[in-house]
Structure 1
Amino acid sequence: MAQPKALLLRSPGTNCDLETAYAFEQSGASADRVHLNRLLEKPELLHNYQILALSGGFSYGDDISAGRIVGSLMRHHLMDAVKRFHDDGKLILGVCNGFQILIKTGLLLDDDEQGLPSSTLAWNDCQMFQDRWVNLRTAGEKCVFLKDIDQMYLPVAHAEGRFVARDEATLDRLEAAGQLCLTYTANRAGEDCVSFPDNPNGAQRHVAGVCDTTGRIFGLMPHPERYIDRTHHPRWTRGEGNSPGDGLKVFENAVEFFA
């Protein structure tokens, strides 16, 4: 097909949309930053695109809770359009605040029998905002965005990133389905992390990212758009870092999905 087009949804407080747009453009897509109000006025705009991306930041200041206002607006006014978008075989990515939004819309993970969220993103165990680099490893082959990626080194920057499921049975079900597709590790060797700061928020089963049952909706707390060039690595002047940066492959996979 022709060059894929990505719609980067932004709202007051979004602050990673420019970096995310650049990452998509470097990967071969075109990227348009579209304000939430414009999409609320004209939901059919979404169908001119193949990728919907919800960038990081602090939408509406996280005044109620992280991602709740945008999540509620989408859930009540845009769900039909977004579901059609997904049913058409297209991709949805949520990074950090975008992950929080996807959780609160119910798009990413199904609600339980009572219509209540099966999982959420809660305050970090340390009760503090965390801004640091973390080691990550992937699990399974379900997630489109993680194709051919075994491990990554990416930054996190959040206060509400602790993945918590309703119960152990929910965690078991998600893990068995391959939906717990990205986890924090202790080092590049991929060893299980057991404590802070390797797991910066205390997430259950060290979950850093989750996909839906199709693998075409992906939410993660780390920021792949912040490491797409070797010079983004915090120790690149000491000779460390990869070229391109670990995060670029996430965006390249989205573009290659439509090749």
Structure 2
Amino acid sequence: MARVNALVITGYGTNCHEESAYALKAAGADNADIVYFSDLAAGHVRMDEYNFLLCPGGFLDGDDLGAAQAAALRWRWSTTNDGHPVLDQLKHFFDSGGIILGICNGFQLLCKLGLLPAVGDHYFERQVSLSYNDSGRFEDRWVTLKANQASPCVFTKGIEYLQAPVRHGEGKIIPMDEPTLNAIVQNNLYALQYVDPETRQPTEQYPYNPNGSPMGIAGLTDPTGRIFGLMPHPEAFNHPTNHPTWTRGRAADIPLGLAMLESGVNYLKAK
């Protein structure tokens, strides 16, 4: 089986890197290195040493600079000490078969970079954005999620329903126009949806949908299925005791959010 070497990007306010790296190792990754973006930009670390890129969440730039907008500009314009654009490394990483997961701020970053949803294979062209929750407040709650079985996403294979916490103030997906939303639906690029826990049907109703995203979309994939971004935090549900019902003995049979990371790891190991 292929070796899974994961790269977890941190810095500039990111604070979910430790639990993300822990979850990757728990999911079966052989290695999970936490690397500051500044070290990547300086050329101290190269992406071609890895095949799993995880962009975690956690108050990137203090959540004050437009839902990862500043981070996207850093990726676009940073060059290493030898003059090579960091973005070229990212392109080569993906072209070489690597997989990319963005969680919360990381999802915002992938959207701002134009890696998601990449309708029509138009990568690095921004097609969606993320805006303030309809509630007008920061949402910190557990949600129930449904995976789109028709999606090409490698991270949701074998998953039907799961639960995970959300903690964000800007999580509402805003397509650039109606044709973009239609293309996302027609091509099954919506990989994950918020659902009503009773009916298990996708919903736009608060609080089951914490931000008001259309069709209850909680996560997007690209046409290859190798790039996936979501607002909920699957890495934060890596053990039954993470769930709020565990003291009442109800969490043991609830699928862990860790299953998404395991799916990504298994995809790479099967190559």
TM-score where L is the length of structure 2: 0.90
- Structure 1 unaligned residues grouped into runs of 5+: none
Moved segments of 4+, more than 6 Å: none
Change (3 A) 1:213 1:44: farther
Change (3 A) 1:172 1:70: same
Change (3 A) 1:227 1:174: same
Asked if the contact 2:204–2:212 (Cα under 8 Å) also holds between the matched residues in 1, the reply is: no
Aligned partner letter, 2:208: D
Change (3 A) 1:43 1:206: farther
1:25-104 matches, cutoff 5 A: 25-29=25-29, 30-42=31-43, 45-77=46-78, 78-104=86-112
Task: Give yes or no for the alignment of 1:117 onto 2:118.
Answer: no
Return the offset for 1:176. 1.1
Return the offset for 1:102. 0.8
Asked if the contact 1:151–1:188 (Cα under 8 Å) also holds between the matched residues in 2, the reply is: no
Distance 2:28 2:192 in 1: 24
Asked if the contact 1:137–1:183 (Cα under 8 Å) also holds between the matched residues in 2, the reply is: yes
Aligned residues: 258
Asked if the contact 2:100–2:228 (Cα under 8 Å) also holds between the matched residues in 1, the reply is: yes
Q: Deviations over 1:156-198 (max 9, x none)?
A: 0000000111222211101111111100000165223241001
Farther-moved stretch of structure 1 (76-85 vs 122-131)? 76-85
Farther-moved stretch of structure 1 (82-91 vs 70-79)? 70-79
Asked if the contact 1:227–1:245 (Cα under 8 Å) also holds between the matched residues in 2, the reply is: no
Return the offset for 1:116. 6.5
- Structure 2 unaligned residues grouped into runs of 5+: 79-85
* Match of residue 136 from structure 1: 145
Q: Deviations over 1:130-159 (max 9, x none)?
A: 000011101124000001001111100000
Distance 2:32 2:254 in 1: 20
* Match of residue 224 from structure 2: 214
Distance 2:208 2:265 in 1: 30
* Match of residue 264 from structure 2: 254
Distance 1:235 1:180 in 2: 29
Asked if the contact 1:99–1:221 (Cα under 8 Å) also holds between the matched residues in 2, the reply is: yes
TM-score where L is the length of structure 1: 0.94
Farther-moved stretch of structure 1 (141-150 vs 62-71)? 62-71
Asked if the contact 2:4–2:52 (Cα under 8 Å) also holds between the matched residues in 1, the reply is: yes
* Match of residue 82 from structure 2: none
Asked if the contact 1:8–1:33 (Cα under 8 Å) also holds between the matched residues in 2, the reply is: yes
Asked if the contact 2:157–2:263 (Cα under 8 Å) also holds between the matched residues in 1, the reply is: yes
1:234-245 matches, cutoff 5 A: 234-242=244-252, 245=255
Q: Which secondary structure state, in structure 2, belongs to the residue aligned with residue 64 of structure 1?
A: coil
